[in-house]
Structure 1
Amino acid sequence: MDIFDLKENLPFERDVQGDIERIRRSFETISADYGIDIHIKDFLGCFATRPSFKPMCDFFLWHDSPFCSYVKINPHAAETCVTLSNEYLRRRCIREPDGFFGTCFCGISEYVIPVKYRSTVIGAVLLGEFGIPSDSVDRRFARLEKIYGFSGEMLGEAYEKSTRSVPANMDAILTVVKSVVLAFELVAEKYIDKKLVDRLETEKRVRRGDIVDSAADYIRRHYAENLCVAEIAKACLCSPSALNHSFKATLGKGIPEYINHYRVTHALSLLSKTEDSIEAIAAECGFSSSGYFIRVFRHVTGATPKEYRNRHAVAKQRSSKKQK
């Protein structure tokens, strides 16, 4: 497949699955050939509601680099990263429809290309993940440590593994990506109904924020208890499916994953600030057993609770020596 010939081959003559698969392979080819990460933002949920679009968007949905994964173990940081950044990105995409180069609050830079349905911005394609100057990184890391309690050393290690320099041929890469985005927009216009876009835009503004805010508040107040999706949905006056959909569309994760991440956040604090046993911390954070706690903690952070406690102690000692 030659991604450079996409414009010449439009409009598409095959069914929607064939059109979407062709675009997905184009993005994969660009990512592999140029060594950059590609992510797709679904601002309104248009792609998630269309079965033909969902597999491709799910494939490019996650920022799963070591740095982003570490930052998102904190539910508050994850909420800022996903919810607030999505709203900010969409507003900026509306102001700058030709695309822009931006940096998130954690220090990851990306090129952002809006995806439009006629005149409505429904998503974006992000190209990255690029680093920023070290002095700017230090300032952002200091803020992340202060607000969310992250380890500066662990942030630095993950950031170094996850970022790269902007390629010298970035202009050529952008030209190629924009041709694929154009194809994406034409397919969206062909297969997504305008009434759906209008309805989703209205519903997103009104309902999704209310559901997620209510559920997140309930989880914050009851995280140490035995929680289930049905119970949380009942408290939020919505169905379990609506709750899960709102969470995944807004925060990029389902309810169980959000609960585990929230519990791990509290465990991180206890591991670094107390000498409580692993068993006691597991119980205090709402985990059913220490074994399950260790499995979840390792899945979220990449380390066991004991390893994290030891690394945090070493980092604290180094910091104390520097201050002296």
Structure 2
Amino acid sequence: MQVFDIQITNDLQEITAHGNPSFPIGVYKTLLSRNVHGYVPLHWHDEIQFVLVLKGCVSFSVNQSTYYVEEKNGIFINSSCLHSARTYNSEDSEYICFDINPSFLSPSSESIIYQKYVEPFIRYNSNSAITLSTSVPWQNIILDDLDNLFELYTKREFGFELNMYAILLRVWHSIVTHTPDYITEVDANAFTENQRIKQMISFIHQNYKQKVTLEDIAKSANVSRSECCRFFKQMTKSTPFEYLISYRINQSILLLRKSSMSITEIADEVGFGSVSYYIEKFRNQTNYTPKEFRNYCTSLSEN
């Protein structure tokens, strides 16, 4: 299963249901070129995440850091960390992703397992991400476990839930015992910066239909315009206006797929003052014109 278009709230939280309350695990095989954007946009969720790259090289942005993960290697991304994924080079990339609610590791908050080994790790997330390399023995074991988890989940033979649970407990034990500094205090600067970028992006999401200036975005986080540009670029790898245009395009994609509005109406609805400018930016981001993209989506639904 692949999520082709990740739905997020104004503060970038993903709202996809990963599994269900009785088995809160989502398992996805993702080919980045098949995502509606061609990449996985910046978002966060309560679930911890393990990734195993099957093909190509993937650039993962997690909080303020970028990790380049090659084929057969992987990455762990902690709960509530802002992250995105893009193909690093021209070759398409594919990976398996496991989104796991921390409650699955210990259903009871009163358990010593939760209090000593789960809650401190996800709360004091100085380890926002851990790369998993085949060249490191304990990490290579985790990568093999992830491969086994996907096979178990895919085959779904009797007892697969128990088997997955046992493997995930072993994986988690390896993660926490190889990162003994996880109960250090929260990095106050990192927390502040995460809150700041969430404020800026939330402002853009709430006001993208209107005229938005750099000063407006800067004011939303109480920073200067120059600091806004520097900080936004550092955190998202794009300028505030590049992000604004991209978000407007992404919102227009939803309307092209799900509404009968005209191209002119859609351009106005998502905040573009000019239809020609909208078409130009849409083509730059998707390699289609809005009309071509709508026709392409229609042809897919008919097949």
Structure ranking higher in strand proportion: 2
The TM-score normalised by the length of structure 1 is: 0.43
The TM-score normalised by the length of structure 2 is: 0.46
Structure ranking higher in helix proportion: 1
Structure number with greater CO (CA < 8 Å, separation at least 6) is 1
